[in-house]
Amino acid sequence: MSAYNPELPRSAAGRHNPWLVAVVSSIATFMEVLDTTVASVSLYHIAATMGVSYNEALWVITSYIVANALILPVSGWLANMLGRKRYYMISVALFTFASLLCSIAPTLEWLILARVLQGIGGGGLAPVEQSILVDSFSEKKRPQAFALYGVAVLLAPAIGPLVGGWLTSALSWHWVFLINLPIGLLSLLLCYWLIDEPPLLVQERKQRLREGVRIDGVGLLLIIIGFGALQLCLDRFDIYDGFSSTFIIATAVLALVCLSFLPLWEWYHPRPILDVRLFLHRNFALGAALMFLIGLLIVSTTQLLPQMAQELMGYDAWTAGLTLGAGGVCIMLAMMVTGAIASKLPVQRFLVVLGLLVIAWSMWHFTTLSLQIDFASLMWARVLQVIGLPLILIPVASLSYLGLPPEKSNEASALSTLLRNLGGSIGIAWVVNLLHQRTHLHYERLGEHVIPATTPLSTLSSLADTLYQQARMISYLDIYWVMGLVALLVLWLPLLFRER
């Protein structure tokens, strides 16, 4: 055990080794982030078992994402009011219990309700872990600590489809949720034994309670309606044919009104539930913007790759998932190396610039692919894409908290995680819509160059299939080209970070 460090009075490690605490807090975060993708490959099995359509089964994913988005903005406030350790353990317990309810769900309605509870329990795990790492490590060691956090939040979505596909095929879809039970119980026990609630945080919480718990009701209502409507709009955008749907228009307008009014209300409220004044700190505002971009660039393209492999190259779900799995292994190695390098560098913002350049290069590399690409080339293209991620995530996570009041770490972590998740949701909705638009455009353009066939083997249907495949492939490449351009356009942003 390490001795208590008076220079870190908010540390959750107490007299325990902070690295042990970092590992323990990452267990539940990994489990929660994994659940955002692990159930996606089981939807056909869930629909068949419960006698519903695939689109109805998609609410299993939507309900979790919406509930997660609702709890994220207020998780910092809840951690302050309930106590960080207590709130974290309540979240783990609720997530684990909801996983059990999911596994025994007899109907779709039961499963959706259980997924809502699971999303509420899981929403606070990642930001609280981030807060624990900020408070438990010195500025010099934070890059290495955030490398461990990065493994949890980036590796989990990459291997989620692999794990979900294997469990569903080998056992049943129920095990996609049952697997969380032993992990959740282990996390609860280790958190109880190893994570401390430092005396300073206890005193601050008692002081807040003495002053009276005043809930910002209007702010809470705006968050629930605004973020709930936004996530519903983004998640169902493609399914309901975009803005041709009254549902999409209504949720978009509702989200726009509520989320436009929310910052104004929270700015002038004496005790806001969402502290928007944190964006006055330059480093935090820059870090939040870059976290949004990480979600936009990586989460959306992570979904595209296995989809492209299955749709155009005939891969099954397991083989398509392996293209992401190889990248996941490289993420672990790159995180450790980048964390060690960043902790020794006096200037970290140039690492972020290098990371953006690597991602832009990898996106350009994707634009050179064709329908004839083999598995190994596709896998290495993914590896190239994720190598740049640690160069962005670790320095950004570390620099974002420089100059920020220590007592604001809970709220700051919640906002940062919220923006990363929103970036992913917006990115997915955007690329799916763009994919359909570009496919239609390229199909028409290619069709203009078709000439009458002189051989009886070229039937109309086979020609149409070939045109569609080519148009679809070009559309995928268009998206990678756009994402690479986005990465290049924000190269100047990290240079604004203050390093002292």
Residue listed under structure tokens 């709130």: 87
List per-residue pLDDT tens for the chain, 500 residues long: 444 456 677 777 777 788 888 888 888 888 887 777 777 767 777 888 878 776 677 777 777 877 887 787 778 778 887 888 888 889 999 999 999 998 888 888 888 888 888 988 888 887 888 788 877 887 777 777 777 777 777 777 777 777 777 777 778 778 888 888 888 899 889 888 888 877 777 777 777 777 666 777 788 788 888 888 887 787 777 777 777 888 888 988 988 998 888 888 888 877 777 778 888 888 888 888 888 888 888 777 777 777 777 777 777 666 766 777 667 777 777 777 777 777 777 777 888 888 899 888 988 888 888 878 877 888 888 888 778 888 888 888 778 877 777 777 777 877 887 888 788 778 877 887 788 888 888 778 777 776 665 545 456 567 677 777 788 888 888 888 888 898 899 888 888 887 66
* Cβ-contact 83, 29 below 8 angstroms: no
DSSP string computed for 113-169: HHHHHHHHHHHTHHHHHHHHHHHHS-TTTHHHHHHHHHHHHHHHHHHHHHHHHHHHH
DSSP string computed for 348-364: -HHHHHHHHHHHHHHHH
Alpha-carbon distance 58 to 44, whole Å?
Answer: 9
Q: Residue 259 half-sphere exposure, CB side, CA atoms within 13 Å?
A: 15
* Cβ-contact 194, 25 below 8 angstroms: no
pTM metric for this prediction = 0.78
Which token pair is 22?
A: 């970092």
Alpha-carbon distance 440 to 433, whole Å?
Answer: 11
Return the closest-CA partner of residue 294 out of 167, 461, 150, 454.
150
DSSP string computed for 73-105: HHHHHHHHHH-HHHHHHHHHHHHHHHHHHHHT-
